[in-house]
Amino acid sequence: MKIKTVFKKLVNKEKYTKKDNNDNLYKHQQMFFAPEDCTSIYGFGFGQSGWHYLAKTAKQVIENPGLCYEESALKKYYEKFHPGSMCEIFSVNKEDEKYNWLIKYDDPENAPMPWTTQRRVETNNFFKKKGDYGPKDSAYLKKRFEKIKDLVNSIKEKGYKPEQYSNSTDHIRGLLLKNKSTYKFLVIGGNHRAAVLAAFNYKIAAEFHRSYPNIVDIDNVNLWPCVSYGIYPVNVAEYLFLKYFEETGREKAKEWEIM
């Protein structure tokens, strides 16, 4: 879908506000995206042409309601996908000049993206509990699997009503990556819901995440915080950004023998 279509929809959507615990008002705007136009932080696409471990797990549950954790894509993903640096996540080999810039982030969950002002998470304690790769505690992973099953059953029986989550952190939130006339919606929060909606091939209802810029435009790469601060050179920042448009997640899944 072209970016102009997205902007037109944004203009026509009704805005609403909510108060947080500090009584600050935040503007929110509901958007709807096809799964093919949505991706995750490490480039696993939610659409049918892509591959995402949560969406694949949700699809398995839809097709086989009796699926157990041991047979799930989620379990296999965390067993296989153990990247040790940003280089391994974004396929940068040692001969590439970008390697020296990315290898220093040997904890990918703590690595800043070029368009952010700080690291995505602050402590290794958080890293041990959460994250998009293994290894992880099996009890934690089983809870994630049960969460997917519960969401599949709930949406199958009741449908999905995003307005129920508009005032909570459970809502699907992210930002738009703009590459000339095309875009990807990068899901930051609500990955489980986004994955289940994608598995049903429903539109993904989402909002902008207020902790991140609404739109990241490749034409403004020199202004991205981690570029202007000298953390990333322009060519490395552009490389990471364009990976979201050039790959779908299937490439990584095959490389790591997950699918």
Note the pLDDT tens digit of each residue in 51-107: 999 999 999 999 999 999 999 999 999 999 998 888 889 989 888 888 888 887 767
DSSP assignment string, 119-147: -S---HHHHHH--SSS---HHHHHHHHHH
Residue 185's DSSP bridge partners are: 38, 176
Cα–Cα distance, 217 to 241 (Å, whole number): 9
Task: Give the residue from 51, 23, 46, 60 showing the smallest Cα distance to 191.
Answer: 46
Q: What percent of the chain has pLDDT over 70?
A: 79
Global confidence as pTM: 0.85
Pick the range with the lowest mean pLDDT from 44-53, 162-171, 185-194. Answer: 162-171
What is the spatial distance between Cα 69 and Cα 150, in angstroms, rounded to a whole number? 13
Q: Please, where are the H alpha helices in the chain?
A: 3-12, 53-63, 73-80, 86-89, 99-102, 124-129, 138-158, 191-199, 225-228, 234-246, 250-255
User: Residue written as tokens 């940003």?
Assistant: 86
Query: What are the CA-CA distances from residue 130 to residues 46, 101, 120, 126, 137 (Å)?
Result: 20, 25, 12, 6, 10
**Rounded CA gap, 100 and 111, in Å?**
14
**CA 219, CA 123: separation in Å to the nearest integer?**
32
Summarize pLDDT for 24-38 with one digit per residue, the tens. Answer: 333 456 899 999 999
Residue 112 has pLDDT above 70, yes or no: yes
pLDDT confidence of residue 205? 92
